[in-house]
Amino acid sequence: MRFTSHLSLRRTLLQTTLGCFLLFTSSCNRGIAPGVLRFSHFWSEPTQRAAMDSLLAGFHREHPELPIEVTELSWADGKTKLMAGFNSETAPDVLELGSDWVAQFSSSWVLMQLDSETVILPRFSNAPAYSLPSGIWEDHHFAVPWLLDTRVIFINDDLLKKSSDTSYGSYRSHGTDAWDWQKMQSFAEADNRQHLAGIGVNGPDQHRLYKKFLPYIWSNGGELFDSVGHPTMYSPQNIEALRFYVDQLNYGEMETQKNLDDAFVRGTLGEWFSGSWLLPQLAKVPFHWHTEVFPGNDGHAGESFAGGEYLAINAKSAMKHEAALFLEYITRPENELAFARQVNEYPADVKSQSDTFYLHRREGSVFTAQLAHARMTPVIPQWLDVEAIIEDEVSKALYKKETPEEAIASMQRRTLARMTNDE
């Protein structure tokens, strides 16, 4: 789903140095060496950098005639730097984008359409269906799904057993068929009766809170927008989802994602909705734990949040052919898988997600199963603004400044106003 009105976002992205953007002059391209492919990415930590160096070395062996200039970006300001690069005609030839950013760039027509790039087209058919819309605008492909990840429920088994919850053994013997919101709540309440934090509740936390809350909406049969892009936030399903989320404070602990991650690793938190980045730390803990897929409610399937990294080509690149070859190489299933394994993410290629590395690692089968039942954010250029509205209203409900119904109603009104102002 998407909104057809995106003029103000396009103005935001393109308004500065417009003359430079429209005219390919030497001053606009100062410092750009001819014949060098420029690539910007976000993998700057030491182990990530080593994985990227290995990936680039493989491409160089295949194309020794094509030098690559690499720029490392940070998630804190990388998007701003990319936008500034497009405005000044210095944007890289190939760039990495977060899944919730792509629409803002593709709707501004600064990315190259990939529909006719035969070396890249197979990547779209190999990716999960839910990952494709983020890279599509006006029925054209502008970005390739590269890496994916999701979140699951982590459970501290030792804490739960100490709570003497009689349903625990029954639940574990019957498997995930019995796993729903009520069971998740009963486990948290049992831990809480032992004066423990039963469940982690992500509070105000920019760009993170919405990822924890949206699965409650989706897993309760709710939606944010209808099929033509009109906000549908004010619904019984969404009000119920927010009420359940807020009620978890009665037997849980509200904190930021980082602090709740740390609490679970310390063994002081009973349940927590988090990602695979916790697995290396949990490999060293002295307590027993396991994971479950995010549960559904009232007969609805549980759906988690899926995040993704995408690759795109600058529409004004002087090296489009070379850029397409580079995209084909780093998204080639075997290369994508090797990189994903090293950086603890999942490849976008569906077959590679069932690689023995993932299935044999601790809780790997749960994450793989969750990836089949996950969703991404709506494909709208205004998403970052809508995201901020959602997080603000959920925060107000958590702090009892609004009831869940009032917060959802305000979320609907503010989102509609934001969309109306953009028409």
pLDDT in tens, 95-145: 999 999 999 999 999 999 999 999 999 999 999 999 999 999 999 999 999
- What are the φ/ψ torsions at residue 231 (nearest 5 degrees)? -60, 135
7-148+307-375 shares its CATH topology with 150-305+380-421: yes
Predicted confidence (pLDDT) at residue 413 exceeds the cutoff of 50 = yes
Dihedral of alpha carbons 26, 28, 30, 34, sign: negative
pLDDT at position 422 is: 62
pLDDT band at 168 (very low <50, low <70, confident <90, very high): low
Lowest mean pLDDT among 23-27, 37-41, 177-181, 195-199: 23-27
pLDDT band at 5 (very low <50, low <70, confident <90, very high): very low
Other Cβ atoms within 10 Å of 319 Cβ, number: 19
What is the pLDDT of the chain when averaged over all its residues? 89
Predicted confidence (pLDDT) at residue 316 exceeds the cutoff of 50 = yes
- CATH T-level fold of 150-305+380-421: D-Maltodextrin-Binding Protein; domain 2 (3.40.190)
Whether the Cβ atoms of residue 372 and residue 359 lie closer than 8 Å to each other: no
pLDDT band at 6 (very low <50, low <70, confident <90, very high): very low
DSSP code, position 199: E
Q: Which CATH architecture has domain 7-148+307-375?
A: 3-Layer(aba) Sandwich (3.40)
Q: Is 175 exposed, middle or buried (0-12, 13-18, 19+ CB in 10 A)?
A: exposed
Going from the C-alpha of 240 to that of each of 81, 150, 152, 364, 408, the distances in angstroms are 40, 23, 21, 31, 10
pLDDT band at 282 (very low <50, low <70, confident <90, very high): very high
pLDDT at position 27 is: 37
Q: Which residues pair with 154 in a beta bridge?
A: 272, 291
The residue that leads in pLDDT, 106 or 10, is 106
pLDDT band at 412 (very low <50, low <70, confident <90, very high): very high
pLDDT at position 174 is: 41
What is the distance between the alpha carbons of residues 288 and 158, in angstroms, rounded to a whole number? 6
**Which residue in 387, 393, 369, 395 sits closest to 304, CA to CA?**
369
What is the distance between the alpha carbons of residues 363 and 280, in angstroms, rounded to a whole number? 12
The structure's pTM equals 0.86
User: Helix (H, G, I), strand (E, B), or coil: what is residue 409?
Assistant: helix
The arithmetic mean of pLDDT across residues 74-99, rounded, is: 94
pLDDT band at 228 (very low <50, low <70, confident <90, very high): confident
Q: Where are the domains of the chain?
A: 7-148+307-375, 150-305+380-421
